[in-house]
Structure 1
Amino acid sequence: MNSITRSDQVAFEERYLRGLARGLAGALLFSLPMLMTMEMWHLGFSIPKGRLLLLLLVNLPLLVLLSHRIGFERTITWRDSARDAVVAYAMGIVASAFILILLGVITFDMPPRQWVSMVGIQAVPASIGALLGRSQLSMAEPDDEDDDADRSSPGDDNTAGYATELFMMAVGALFLSLNLAPTEEVILIAYKLTHWHALALICVSLIIMHGFVYAVAFRGSHQAGPEDGGWKAFLHFTVPGYAVALMVSLYSMWTLQSIDDLASIEILLGVIVLAFPAAIGAAAARLIL
């Protein structure tokens, strides 16, 4: 009995360590574009403390909820999910600091406030990437499949399931919008848009979102049943998902100072532009997560 318990413990530890390794790989893979973006470096010098603190505080419960679904191991209690979220955050911080030091962006003569801000901003997508690494960089192991099946079992009530779908879309939208929000190209495109371009971009965003999930048969895509009707899934998931992408885009641009000193119409057009990749990220999150 003791030998069985010991072997189970060893197997558990091996799986957890593999999950940590995948998490570190995911943190590097998914955050590298931002780690090598000049606009993100400059934010370390200029981002207001309040906005940075809010971003870091928002990210923590987001990681807890995400960990409960795709953490480094199967988590039953919220305490375990919180532990994995803290580990993912730590991985994001370590990976971001290591790469920024390696690239010479952070130097030892730099004021602490600047490098803390740089690492703090970069740790958000890196920590999300750490958790995504578990689901996207893992081989098809039976235990992992069982865990995912248990977590996505239809035993949850419909309201909780719908809220989970919206949350996962918000995660995907936040991840992609953070990559692009600080770049000047988003505002430049917004300046070039006419109102007709903006309307067309909204329509295309909605079509792509819906097509990704329901039409093109990607792995993880959903099939709308006959009872759903042609428009029910579109109105129930795609339109709210696009609204989530818009709100996340606005928040990302505000946090990263992309819309400071802009007129209302310019802010609106900028949000519509950023919501295009954010909507794709939201749709992809429904497939992946």
Structure 2
Amino acid sequence: MKTTNKHPHQWQTELSDLIRGASGGFLFGVPLLYTMEVWWIGSSAQMIRLLMALVLTFAIVFMLNRTAGFRQTNDIYAIDAAIDSVEAMAIGLVCAGLMLMLIQEITLQTPLNEAIGKVIYVSTPFTLGVALANQFLSGQEDEAPNNDDPNQPTFNATFSDIGSTLIGAIIIAFNIAPTDEIPMIAAAASGLWLLAVMVASLLVSYAIVFAAGFTNQQKRQQQQGLFQNPYSETLISYVFSVLAACMMLVFFDKLRWQDPWHLWLSYSIILGLPATIGGAAGRLAI
């Protein structure tokens, strides 16, 4: 059972659990976020369907939490699983709501019932990602590399990072690139909104790789390479993810050479969000 008076270490553990859960939510939930059919279904769904969606999501997450959820704990009592399921759903709903606001599918002009419907429908994969975060993405740390060796192949480590970033970016963003959602979102995005998308992409990428406590986090923090500290790696990987997004848009003829530069920039940044999350997942795998 959780208490209200927590030791600082408990608060740190709680924060780590929340970051891990949110990171898992982003990994699983972002592809569905870029699906206009889900926006439309959510905005027109009746309350009974929304309640059924919440109940079904809770049931699935509860079963997952009975085995292993997003917390690093062995407590699997029904009451603990129920509490963690409610918290997982809350994390999923908050993450989905924030992302819908970021891509301006929810604004101050959006009717409340439409906003609630969109958040509930989009939050389902986010919530499942929260519940699966510890079960599938956590694990024993591999032995950290020895950084004292001056002959460590830093170029190999750098190219490995770039390659895994590009592979992960393509896996996540390739199915999104040919859709009409990217132009729709970009059409409503101002310069400040694009900056917000860039900042969110960097923060989520950093959290997934370096703050969530997933497999190989310690190894990644000590790995050799030209850009191998958490901040520079996050920045360089973001640049390559955006470039990969741009190339995918060209591949699917969503961008043409005669298009103005601001169109190239806005489309690439918008698709760069899921591409960056995919790139972070790719770097976790190496």
- Give me the TM-score of the superposition, normalised by structure 1: 0.43
Q: TM-score, normalised by structure 2?
A: 0.44
The answer to which structure has the higher helix fraction is: 1
